[in-house]
Amino acid sequence: MLVSKKKNKEFVDGVCKGLIEIGAKKIKDEIDVFRTFELDTIVGKLKINVSTDNNCIFTVFSRFENVALAKEKFSCNPYSGKYNVHIGLVREMTIEQYVKLAVTPFELTLPKKLA
């Protein structure tokens, strides 16, 4: 099963919207490759690259700037700080569900808000 161009666009647009809603700032837009964002997290800056060319899985690449601190708090690569999201295709899932799965790990990096 492959990702259609329409579904890929819906995923990319949904993830970009979701990232902006949680406070990420768009810093670069290479339409044929990535849309790049920066997010302030509890461990410093996180650079996020939303892949615009998904064809067999949905992917969002990211890397913490402060690897030493990030690896203490998150399940990221302890050497590079990579905190990537890869979501395999499931026939029953909607684009909204894929977007939620892709954005949630980034929401978890944010400071907790007091109610």
The mean predicted confidence, pLDDT, of the chain is: 92
Task: Give, as one character, the DSSP assignment of residue 114.
Answer: P
113 or 108, which is more confident:
108
pLDDT tier at 44, thresholds 50, 70, 90: very high
Please give the average per-residue pLDDT across 2-13, as a whole number: 91
**Alpha-carbon distance values, 33 to 12, 55, 91, 109, 114 (Å):** 11, 12, 25, 25, 38
59 forms bridges with which residues in the sheet?
Answer: 86
Please give the average per-residue pLDDT across 83-97, as a whole number: 93
Residue 52 pLDDT > 50: yes
Q: Domain spanning 5-107 has what CATH number?
A: 3.90.1150
> Which sequence spans correspond to the domains of the chain?
5-107
